Structure 1
Amino acid sequence: MHGVASVGERAVARLRRERPHWRFTDGAPPAGARYSVLVAGRPDEALLSASPALRTLVVPFAGIPAQTAERLADRPGIAVRTLHHTAGPTAELALGLVLAAARALVPADRAMRDGDWTPRFVPPEPTMVLAGHTATVVGYGEVGRRVARGLAALDLRVNAIRAGARGTSGDGVALIHPPRRLPELLRRSRVVVLAVPLSARTTGLIGANELALLPDPAVLVNVARAAVVDESALYQRLLTGKLAAGLDVWWSEASGDGPRTGIAASRFPFHELPNVVLSPHRGGAFSLPEVQRARLTELTRVLDDLSVHSGE
């Protein structure tokens, strides 16, 4: 089994130790490459074309980048596997954003640092109680299911939107609906959590019309991708003061190999709004050692599975 891994030198070294019968090449493809599995989130044309034996691309995180999806469109013979080791941490952050936004924790924290107890007696708007109300989770995959369980534990009635659902069914935690039911569900949702993959169908899924359907007050949390929500429409809706939001994904973000300061997350000043909790795309907690270990464990499991099915 040949592999090209883009998961870091330490990870490749550990894989080589633990699976000595596998063969790896890290970096640029060698001459006469015959790897059958490519581990890369954003492979270039050289990596995708170098080996005629390539049958599987393993994206070492959740979701498929748009550029990768475009390059794979002309390669139907390459199957794609993704990793979901960050599903738990992402769901945790989503629930944290729901609670922080609903109870205006950030404005209250700022006030108390100045010795101001006013938020105890005059809650910042919008401040709301969640129990007994309805929540909708848009995207019912690894993250969405965990978020739904957390919301149900807070005594919310949970609905979920899942692509491919043809009718409404329940799984003991949420009522699962097809995407066409989204407008109806938004009308009665105090909480909406976006955990849907970005695709042509989900880009701009939440626009001005959808935001107008939300009741007052409501909470919108996005741990999916920024482009799922119309940037301008969300900012304008938040200006009314009746919607709170928790945002972990942005329309402009710092990259790991570029500058980390002085980067505006949006063309609109979301940071000036007291009813928004801002998070710098840290839901997956990818820099934490335990998450890095979980990533390698899941990657090993996926490669083991591919090895078994290929007979190698």
Structure 2
Amino acid sequence: MRELVVSLPDEGLLEELGEIPGVEWVAWELDGPAPRAHLDIVVPPYWGGAELLERLDGTSVGLVQWQSIGYNGVDAHLPAGIPLANAATVHEASTAELALALLLAAQRGIPEFVRDGEAHRWDLRTFPSVADRRVLIVGYGGVGKAIDARLAGFEAHVTRLARTARTDRDLSGNPVEVRGFDRLAESLAEAEIAILAVPLTPETTGLIDAAALAAMPDGALLVNVARGRVVDTAALVRELESGRLRAALDVTDPEPLPADHPLWSCANALITPHAGGDSTAMLPRVVDLIRRQVARMQAGERPENLVLEG
């Protein structure tokens, strides 16, 4: 069995992983010199940015295990020759939960009722349902499929769209039609609710621009749990300020959202601070992923979720 040296960024991971035969855990937050000349696996901090990866320069590294699904911008900072795996399987469930929470809160008027509660005001109003609504999921990878699975019990009419048109399978194994990006405008025009779950790539940056927003029907809701730069923020603010569209956003551009940004003043916008994957489900799922990567590397197998070959 191959001996491994694995660096971990915090005590929580060290405690949860415990002892594994043939593995030496070392603590390193990428906040100083590398603790060893060679590290088989480096797990960077969850928060801190891709810029931290520049500190791996000059260190022999077998694999960087990223703690997020998204890895946009990482290749600009990761030294050449170091492979990177993303955290697919870790955040999909939590991100999908928050997408549904944002959708339900926005549809059923929860922000308005909270404001009424703070004012000790009883004001019965009717808000739109999720049932019978036309919902578009933009992006049909792990997060999109997890959202689709959680929508299944809400009696909505779901359309799926991704970069490539195809017949895919949902998490229950049922075949589903997935439209391509070439049908984005048409699909947005049909949608009463659009949920963004695409990765940030050159193709998806600004995907939801002024024209895409203009295609959405009056009163439609945009839910973004993807990345802030998928949406043209200035165009979205114009639509929100006019009162034509609504938004529920876990991600924004810029991020963090400055205190004086006009999005905060839009009463028809519900904003959370990029909290989608940050739940109690994260730690045990990261631990399981690291254990699987250790087992694969000890066995001489290809790492799971390899997204940059190095």
TM bucket, shorter chain: 0.7 to 0.9
TM-score scaled by length of structure 2? 0.82
Q: Distance in 1 between matches of 2:110 and 2:214?
A: 25
Q: Could you tell me how far 1:145 is from its partner in structure 2?
A: 0.8
Structure with more contact order per residue of length (Cα contacts < 8 Å, sep ≥ 6): 2
Q: Could you tell me how far 1:101 is from its partner in structure 2?
A: 1.1
Q: Does 1:89 align with 2:83?
A: no
Which of 63, 66, 69 matches 1:59? 66
Which of 66, 69, 75 matches 1:69? 75
Q: Deviations over 1:248-274 (max 9, x none)?
A: 1123445xxxxxxxx726x63222222
Q: Deviations over 1:180-237 (max 9, x none)?
A: 2222211101111111111222111111010001012211111111111111011101
Q: Does 1:281 align with 2:274?
A: yes
Q: Distance in 2 between matches of 1:158 and 1:83?
A: 24
Q: Distance in 1 between matches of 2:182 and 2:63?
A: 33
Partner residue in 2 for 1:259: none
Q: Could you tell me how far 1:85 is from its partner in structure 2?
A: 1.7
The equivalences for 1:265-276 within 5 A come to 268-276=261-269
Question: How many residue pairs align between the two structures?
Answer: 288
Q: Distance in 2 between matches of 1:104 and 1:174?
A: 31
Q: Counterpart amino acid of 1:281?
A: H
The equivalences for 1:176-191 within 5 A come to 176-191=178-193
Ranges in structure 1 where 5+ consecutive residues have no aligned partner? 255-262
Conserved? CA contact 1:148–1:173, under 8 Å: no
RMSD: 2.6
**Once superposed, which parts of structure 1, at least 4 consecutive aligned residues long, lie more than 6 Å away?**
none
Q: Could you tell me how far 1:70 is from its partner in structure 2?
A: 1.5
Q: Distance in 2 between matches of 1:110 and 1:14?
A: 40
Corresponding residue SS for 1:239? helix
Q: Does 1:135 align with 2:135?
A: yes
Partner residue in 2 for 1:235: 237
Q: Could you tell me how far 1:88 is from its partner in structure 2?
A: 1.2
Ranges in structure 2 where 5+ consecutive residues have no aligned partner? 303-310
Conserved? CA contact 1:60–1:295, under 8 Å: yes
Partner residue in 1 for 2:23: 22
Report % sequence identity.
30
TM-score scaled by length of structure 1? 0.81
Partner residue in 2 for 1:219: 221
**CA spacing shift, 1:36–1:277, aligned 2, 3 Å:** same
Q: Counterpart amino acid of 1:36?
A: D
Conserved? CA contact 2:68–2:86, under 8 Å: no
Partner residue in 2 for 1:148: 148
